[in-house]
Structure 1
């Protein structure tokens, strides 16, 4: 090696991985140096209170192949293909294992067994990251429509609330009716938090990712029809509880499915399609409310318009059920079930070349072995490991901040009740209220599109830090607009709509896509299903709190105070994000373990020390301002 491992590891991550037969001693020395150095880096970042555990665990999880000799990899690959009936793929798995060992640095040049086609595939992966197989994009389409199902399920209630409370006798302004309206609206999210989300792990264990998506989409379809034929508020409440049992596992499974199938360089952009197309589904729900608003009753049906609104959300669920089994199953899930031949076929459908498929599959296989060893060394209650294992606890803290924050940034006050809010402005018409809601849904969808390109470049954390102050500002503007005199109705309505719409412009590329993307990748594989279950429980619990309390809060605090409450939470979330949330962009699912090896207190102290740097760099525009390095995985992360 012409440079020291330390310099190359910290400044220019191109660690040398020679594999020529006549250079094996040099290969072993270089691997041992890198392994020692990686362990030292993790030891320094882990903190004294848990470094003994974390430095051994996270080194193995960072790259289970690090430090292995050329001969050892050969023997391991031989055992792997023999034990799983993959002998015909021996050569490609051997090359894939060598590439997996080197993928943290991307230095594949010294692997002499690679052909020119292999090298071109590796170059294309980096230089043409959006050139992916049709199956991968079809899978992304499936996940997107599943998200649209959820968005429509959430938003059709917005228009229906203008009608069915009066028909069911809970439409007055009494305290009791306000709480009942909130309870009916919040029913799916109560069921999500207390029942549905906890079914994620057992449903995935029994039926896989695709089977779980199918079953939950069926529940959405059936409960939407059920809601449309209810005849009392408590009947509607029960139907919406069943809807929530389907929403919970689906909201955890779809982002996880997408993250497990997607290459690292575009994982964030494809995983965030969940939130983008949830926003599209919300817009569809508003559109259905508008189209069906003027439908009149028939001789035997009262409230036909709102019944059709509630039933319309069943349509996209049919599409998901019809095509989800045309997508490949998650290869990582198949490997957990010991179905390695099926997993390889899935990887071959999801990657551009057999080499890339073999590399990712072998890497995942080795990681499963390490995580299985770690799992057996922990206690018998895996849920507790979210809080007792330091690496997992840090992911749990991040997930809690984000899932709580996605609700208490105030977005679903607008998503669920915008028609009611707008209608109270200068007594505007119900049609105009629905038009305003549809405009919010359209902007929410359109402004999520830029995040497809920024979430893997600008970063998850940075998107939140940039957008949260503006979200707080425009929530305040929306609330304060209610002080405009009623003698100026046009001005009042214009400011309210402006506040809601511009708020959506900043929510959509920030707190819209980031939470699910972040949570789907933050937890290690062996506990990811449980971690996503916990994350979605937090999300839907606080969603239900928001939905139940809004009508009462609006009456007691007045619109000014109610919107100000959520604006204040946006600023609190800004501080929590700045001090406690690590960046996760552009890393493999496995490399994230090194990021979460840094103790929370050390991360917060580091961010506090960087405040002068941020001020000089972004306010005084001093391009030569120096930033302290924290992470030692690669240079891009240390600058994040």
Structure 2
């Protein structure tokens, strides 16, 4: 191989050479000029195979080859960063199941256990408080807070709010204070979920971004499982103390998150959006196997930003214009329909109702309180274990396909669970109901569970990706609020059997909506490829799907 910088430069045009020189000098990267020359060569060769191959070092060539042969061979710091981010997901799941167990005790402790419409509404509001705050405040804080504080600063602020919310909930002297603390907790969780998903995606290399993108849902499931275990572990605590402990212990993952987040590098993408390419290169070099791979991503972002700035005449669109473009631009609107559909489907399938109220449902179905808690532990464990296959299924089957394959059997399990509740109380009813709830969870965890966040993060163009993600999370949170708020009254009016039957029907509705609005994104590039997927108008797309169905090709 040639090892002289002059030989590398000879393969570049004069304009390309000058651009690389200008970039390196402007952003304090002159000491790495030789690396960026090789990057320019590499990008030129990728764009046109007739251009000469770049003259790479042996280590660089090996690292590029291993992107295909050993894609998961990455620096430890990358996985450490994903793991630290995942602590926020554990808190998200644990907060859900903390209230699940506390529901058995806090009503009586706070004087809202009469079963009246007022008390049922208050109990539902306390349960859905975290989702209400996520949808109205937390998710929408992501863009302004990230702009000012960066990804790590936003996660630090979000985790601090969540910590305050957990402590306040545990010490609440009344339901009014408890509700306020749940809203603070939800605000922190909403900001965390919006930021962590973006931070993890920006930290991961493109060729394993889908697999790493599953980490949020997978570790949320782990948090749900830990929450159920904590509920069982605290079962023997005094009745006037148990619910307070159940609301306090979800703060456990927040402590290491707060301590470790600044040991992770700041998002390189956050730096490049602010034209701080020197800092972006320093950050990304810690997360990639070679400086060449880091330089390639940074220089590609620089070239893309130059084109974008020219198109915008150096003026960035206002926040209102960007938000409005989600509706006014057809390509964005079609992505919004798809994103909203998968988020809505995740909520109306019934999973959060089980996460919130499984202990209550099992208890009212004849289980002892302790048996109900153990049944919920198994549910949480299955939710985590069956989320793991999604790391491979997301790219093997495709996002749309996995939704369409899992929703029908989920509807059937809900329907049969409804029928099982007509059986007399006893062992048979206990086993059948628990088995059907577990089967539902096993179908949900690798499909409807991980798809929505990963799908919503990829369907929007870069110019509105953060806003689109905030809108998607807000949608999911507000629907979770509605469902959680109405479920106590639903149980009162329809009973357990009618409630399960209703959610069986809602899974069918979710399947129809996914068939109509969700477009497949498996293997599609984030820029031009996604534009091609979402440019056709909705009527044209549905006609294509009907034509494929009648021709027996069933394009999913």
TM bin (shorter chain): over 0.9
In the TM superposition, residue 116 of structure 1 has moved relative to its aligned partner by 4.3
SS of the equivalent of 1:455 reads helix
Pairs within 5 Å for 1:242-281: 242-281=184-223
Q: 1:150 to 1:101 in 2, by over 3 A?
A: farther
Partner of 2:391: 452
Matched length = 546
1:518-555: per-residue Cα shift (whole Å, max 9, x none)? 11222222222211111111011001001100011122
Pairs within 5 Å for 1:536-615: 536-591=473-528, 592-612=530-550, 615=552
Residue pair 1:191, 1:242 contacting (<8 A) in 2 also: yes
Question: Partners of 2:51 and 2:78 in 1: how far apart?
Answer: 28
Correspondent of 1:415 among 341, 346, 355? 355
Residue pair 2:164, 2:184 contacting (<8 A) in 1 also: no
Partner of 1:288: 230
Partner of 1:163: 105
Partner of 1:65: none
Q: TM-score, normalized by length of structure 1?
A: 0.81
Residue pair 2:387, 2:445 contacting (<8 A) in 1 also: yes
Q: Could you tell which deviates more after superposition, 586-595 or 258-267?
A: 586-595
In the TM superposition, residue 479 of structure 1 has moved relative to its aligned partner by 1.6
In the TM superposition, residue 349 of structure 1 has moved relative to its aligned partner by 1.1
Q: Could you tell which deviates more after superposition, 188-197 or 158-167?
A: 188-197
Correspondent of 1:198 among 140, 147, 164? 140
In the TM superposition, residue 408 of structure 1 has moved relative to its aligned partner by 0.9
Residue pair 1:344, 1:357 contacting (<8 A) in 2 also: yes
Partner of 2:24: 81
SS of the equivalent of 2:286 reads helix
Residue pair 1:392, 1:524 contacting (<8 A) in 2 also: yes
Question: Partners of 1:261 and 1:609 in 2: how far apart?
Answer: 40
Correspondent of 1:403 among 331, 339, 343? 343
Question: Partners of 2:45 and 2:214 in 1: how far apart?
Answer: 28
In the TM superposition, residue 102 of structure 1 has moved relative to its aligned partner by 5.6
SS of the equivalent of 1:531 reads helix
SS of the equivalent of 2:494 reads helix
Residue 430 (1) aligns with residue 372 (2): no
Q: Could you tell which deviates more after superposition, 508-517 or 82-91?
A: 82-91
Residue pair 2:457, 2:469 contacting (<8 A) in 1 also: yes
1:247-278: per-residue Cα shift (whole Å, max 9, x none)? 11111111111111111221011111000000
1:272-305: per-residue Cα shift (whole Å, max 9, x none)? 10000000001111111110011126xxxxx211
Partner of 1:464: 403
Correspondent of 2:441 among 496, 504, 514? 504
Residue pair 2:112, 2:122 contacting (<8 A) in 1 also: yes
Residue pair 2:90, 2:219 contacting (<8 A) in 1 also: yes
Residue pair 1:264, 1:586 contacting (<8 A) in 2 also: no
Correspondent of 2:251 among 304, 307, 314? 314
Residue 138 (1) aligns with residue 80 (2): yes
Residue 94 (1) aligns with residue 94 (2): no
Residue 492 (1) aligns with residue 434 (2): no
Residue 338 (1) aligns with residue 275 (2): yes
Pairs within 5 Å for 1:324-335: 324-335=261-272
Question: Partners of 1:190 and 1:209 in 2: how far apart?
Answer: 23
Question: Partners of 2:418 and 2:43 in 1: how far apart?
Answer: 53
Residue pair 2:8, 2:38 contacting (<8 A) in 1 also: no
In the TM superposition, residue 577 of structure 1 has moved relative to its aligned partner by 2.2
Residue pair 1:264, 1:588 contacting (<8 A) in 2 also: no
Residue 519 (1) aligns with residue 462 (2): no
In the TM superposition, residue 236 of structure 1 has moved relative to its aligned partner by 0.8
Structure 1 residue ranges (4+ consecutive) displaced by more than 6 angstroms after TM superposition: 19-22
Partner of 1:354: 291
In the TM superposition, residue 585 of structure 1 has moved relative to its aligned partner by 2.9
Question: Partners of 1:373 and 1:459 in 2: how far apart?
Answer: 36
Residue pair 2:169, 2:248 contacting (<8 A) in 1 also: yes
Q: 1:199 to 1:450 in 2, by over 3 A?
A: same
Question: Partners of 2:358 and 2:387 in 1: how far apart?
Answer: 19
Q: TM-score, normalized by length of structure 2?
A: 0.93
Question: Partners of 2:317 and 2:172 in 1: how far apart?
Answer: 49
Q: 1:248 to 1:374 in 2, by over 3 A?
A: farther
Q: Which runs of 5+ in 1 are unaligned?
A: 1-18, 25-68, 298-302, 618-626, 628-639
Q: 1:378 to 1:329 in 2, by over 3 A?
A: closer
Question: Partners of 2:229 and 2:50 in 1: how far apart?
Answer: 51
Q: 1:492 to 1:76 in 2, by over 3 A?
A: same
Question: Partners of 1:603 and 1:139 in 2: how far apart?
Answer: 39
Question: Partners of 1:418 and 1:236 in 2: how far apart?
Answer: 21
In the TM superposition, residue 110 of structure 1 has moved relative to its aligned partner by 4.4
Residue pair 2:159, 2:188 contacting (<8 A) in 1 also: yes
SS of the equivalent of 1:361 reads helix
Q: Could you tell which deviates more after superposition, 489-498 or 574-583?
A: 574-583
Question: Partners of 1:373 and 1:186 in 2: how far apart?
Answer: 46
In the TM superposition, residue 104 of structure 1 has moved relative to its aligned partner by 7.8
Correspondent of 2:465 among 493, 513, 528? 528
Question: Partners of 1:343 and 1:173 in 2: how far apart?
Answer: 57
In the TM superposition, residue 493 of structure 1 has moved relative to its aligned partner by 1.4
Residue pair 1:372, 1:526 contacting (<8 A) in 2 also: no
Question: Partners of 2:436 and 2:50 in 1: how far apart?
Answer: 51
Q: 1:576 to 1:110 in 2, by over 3 A?
A: farther
In the TM superposition, residue 598 of structure 1 has moved relative to its aligned partner by 3.6
SS of the equivalent of 1:483 reads coil
